[in-house]
Amino acid sequence: MTFPFFRVPQIVQSIIVNLAEPYELICLTQCSKRAYKLVKTYRKTSENVKIVVDIENTVKVYFDRKMSCRLSLDSKYGNQELARREYPTTNLFGADFCLSLFLSNIWKLKWDDPTTDGVLTLLDWVTDLFQVDVRGLDISEDTVHRWKWVESRQERIKSLYLSGGRYSKNDISNMIHSNSDNLLFMYITPRIEYSGILPSRTSFVSGNGFSFTRNPLMTSDFVHLSISDSTITDADVNQFLKHWLAGGNSRLKTASLPVDSRDLDDITYGIEGIHGNFETEVYWTIFGRKLTFYFRRLYLRRADGVMATCYIIENSCRRNEFVLAVWPDAKNNSCPIDIF
């Protein structure tokens, strides 16, 4: 049972406080945003713990980069049934959950309230237990409210993943301007063309449905940029390269942009560089993706001495992929050529 603690008579509050056990738990869902932040200020955080939520109603807890526990919700909420089995009733996190140990580190919890999202109760308990914020959040068209709930309780989200589905332009716009370091859009409908200025963040990745235009390309400030759907032309990419060479988007390490030409000389027309047609080259992105550059590529050098490799990955079913990879890579490998 829950109730508004601060609305009961003061004498009742005093009795409750006096009778409370030294380690009594209070679900912070019942507290205001200000009270929530105040409590977190005075509690020690757990080191090396990360909390991630995926689209399968699952809260994952990682310790030292390894998944230590997975709380999977079998819920009528969102018309999902993750497991059909009998669960013993247990009171957890201030709510009546049915809990069973599915595997060594996977807990299945049954949540039968179709009007409430039990994942939020799980999140409230787990974040309070470890005193850490939610690091990664994977949402669908049915769970946009989770992102709003999490963002109202913490300053930033490390990674926000938007899976395929139908979203309103207002929701997409709000997510674009959210306090997330890494933003990933998968396939979305209806198609949205964005021409505004994107906030500075570590990475921005967009799939089909989010049409990237010239203005956000030229004004972008990312470490990693990957675009699939776009109205930008090969000439726009050429201007972007000139913009980078002049010192624009100085934090950029990797850019992946759609182009029509298969000829690197078309994309880099009027730009001075050194062609590389020798050994195969490997580059590692900040997300651990291994890029392999074969034979024909172009090396660029900025005025401050920073080097980059230009390469085109050919595709048969969609536009080709132009890659700008700035050295050193994520594994601190330096540019394979040092003469310019």
Co-location of 1 and 126 in the same domain: yes
Answer yes or no: is 317 within a domain. Answer: yes
For 75, the domain range is 1-132
Domain boundary at 132, 150, 167, which? 132
Q: Which residues contact 129 (CB under 8 A, 6 or more apart)?
A: none
Tell me what percent of the residues of the chain surpass a pLDDT of 90: 39
Q: Alpha-carbon torsion 259, 260, 263, 268, what sign?
A: negative
Structure tokens at 206: 């967009």
Tell me what percent of the residues of the chain surpass a pLDDT of 70: 77
Q: Are strands 203-206 and 180-185 parallel, antiparallel or unpaired?
A: parallel
Co-location of 126 and 253 in the same domain: no
Domain boundary at 103, 132, 161, which? 132
Full DSSP string of 100-150: EEEETTEEEEEE--TTS-HHHHHHHHHHHHHT--EEEEEE-TT-HHHHHHH
pLDDT digits (tens, 9 = 90+) for 91-150: 555 555 555 555 556 766 766 666 778 888 888 888 887 888 999 999 988 889 999 999
pLDDT digits (tens, 9 = 90+) for 13-38: 777 777 777 666 665 555 566 666 66
Q: Are strands 106-111 and 95-103 parallel, antiparallel or unpaired?
A: antiparallel
Question: In the chain, how many domains are there?
Answer: 2
Q: Which of 232, 235, 327 is nearest to 276 (CA)?
A: 327
Answer yes or no: is 169 within a domain. Answer: no
pTM greater than 0.85: no
Which has more pLDDT, 288 or 340?
288
pLDDT digits (tens, 9 = 90+) for 204-214: 998 887 888 89
Answer yes or no: is 40 within a domain. Answer: yes
**Helix, strand or coil for residue 13?**
helix
Answer yes or no: is 175 within a domain. Answer: no
Whole-number pLDDT of residue 79: 45
Q: Alpha-carbon torsion 185, 187, 192, 194, what sign?
A: positive
Asked if residue 78 has pLDDT above 50, the reply is no
pLDDT digits (tens, 9 = 90+) for 150-209: 999 998 899 999 987 888 888 888 888 998 999 998 877 778 888 888 899 999 998 887
Whole-number pLDDT of residue 242: 96
CA distance 314 to 261: 9
Average pLDDT over residues 204-227: 90
Asked if residue 329 has pLDDT above 90, the reply is yes
Co-location of 125 and 238 in the same domain: no
Domain boundary at 106, 132, 158, which? 132
Answer yes or no: is 192 within a domain. Answer: no
Answer yes or no: is 88 within a domain. Answer: yes
Answer yes or no: is 336 within a domain. Answer: yes
The mean pLDDT value of the chain amounts to: 82
Answer yes or no: is 147 within a domain. Answer: no
Highest mean pLDDT: which range of 46-50, 54-58, 70-74: 54-58
**CA distances, 58 to each of 16, 116, 339 (Å):** 34, 15, 51
